[in-house]
Amino acid sequence: MRIIHLNEESKKDLLEKLLKRSPNHYTEYEERVASILAKVKEEKDAAVFAYTKQFDGAELSKDTILVTEEEMKEAYTLVDSSLIDVIQKALVNIRIYHEKQKQYSWFDSTPSGTILGQKVTPLSKVGVYVPGGKAAYPSSVLMNVIPAKVAGVEEIIMTTPCSQEGKVNPVTLVAAKEAGVDRIFKIGGAQAIAAMAYGTESIPKVDKIVGPGNIYVALAKKAVFGYVSIDSVAGPSEILVLADETANARYVAADLLSQAEHDEMASAILVTTSRKLAEQVSKEVDQFTDSLSRKEIIQESLERYGYILVADSMEEAIEAVNEIASEHLEIQTKDPFMVMTKVKHAGAIFIGEYSSEPLGDYFAGPNHILPTNGTAKFFSPLSVDDFIKKSSIIAYSKEALFPIHQDIITFAEAEHLTAHANSIRVRFEAEN
Asked if 383 and 348 count as a contact pair (C-beta separation under 8 A), the reply is: no
Q: Which residues contact 26 (CB under 8 A, 6 or more apart)?
A: 215, 219
Question: Can you tell me the distance from the alpha carbon of 164 to that of 186, in angstroms, rounded to the nearest whole number?
Answer: 11
Question: Can you tell me the distance from the alpha carbon of 211 to that of 219, in angstroms, rounded to the nearest whole number?
Answer: 13
Instruction: Name the nearest CA neighbour of 69 among 183, 154, 151, 175.
Output: 183
Active site residue 328: yes
Question: Can you tell me the distance from the alpha carbon of 143 to that of 360, in angstroms, rounded to the nearest whole number?
Answer: 11
Beta strands 328-332 and 238-243 are parallel
From the list 262, 284, 316, 328, the catalytic residue is: 328
Sign of the C-alpha dihedral computed for residues 210, 215, 217 and 221 taken in this order: positive
Question: Can you tell me the distance from the alpha carbon of 393 to that of 408, in angstroms, rounded to the nearest whole number?
Answer: 18
From the list 238, 284, 316, 327, the catalytic residue is: 327
Residues in the chain: 432
Sign of the C-alpha dihedral computed for residues 309, 314, 316 and 321 taken in this order: positive
Active site residue 345: no
Question: Can you tell me the distance from the alpha carbon of 272 to that of 406, in angstroms, rounded to the nearest whole number?
Answer: 62
Asked if 207 and 123 count as a contact pair (C-beta separation under 8 A), the reply is: yes
- Give φ, ψ of 154 to 5 degrees: -70, -40
Asked if 233 and 221 count as a contact pair (C-beta separation under 8 A), the reply is: yes
Catalytic residues: 327-328
